[in-house]
Amino acid sequence: MSLDGSLRGRSLVSVADLTREEVDGLFVHARALKDELRSRGRHQLAPLAGRTLAMIFEKPSLRTRVTFETGMTQLGGHAIYLAPADIQLGVRETVADVARNLSRWVDGVIARVFRHAAVAELAEAASVPVVNALSDVEHPCQALADLFTVLERRGGLRGLTLTFVGDGNNVYHSLLLLGSLLGIHVRLASPAGYEGDAAIFARAQAIAAGSGSRLERFRDPHEAVCDADVIYTDVWASMGQEAEAAARARLFAPYRVDEALVRAAGRDVVVMHCLPAHRGQEITSDVLDGAHSIVLDQAENRMHLQKAILVATMA
Catalytic residues: 112, 139, 142, 234, 274, 302
Angle between helices 140-154 and 295-314 (to 10 degrees): 120
- For 17, other C-beta atoms within 10 Å of its C-beta total 15
> Quick one: which of 199, 203, 205 has its CA closest to 186?
205
**Eight-class DSSP state of 14:** S
* Neighbour-count burial of 245, counting CB atoms closer than 10 A to its CB (0-12 exposed, 13-18 middle, 19+ buried): middle
Alpha carbon 91 to its chain centroid, in Å, reads 27
Angle between helices 170-182 and 140-154 (to 10 degrees): 50
**3-state DSSP percent of the chain in helix, strand and coil, to 5:** 50, 15, 35
Residues 118, 63 contacting (CB under 8 angstroms): no
AA identity, residue 84:
P
AA identity, residue 116:
H
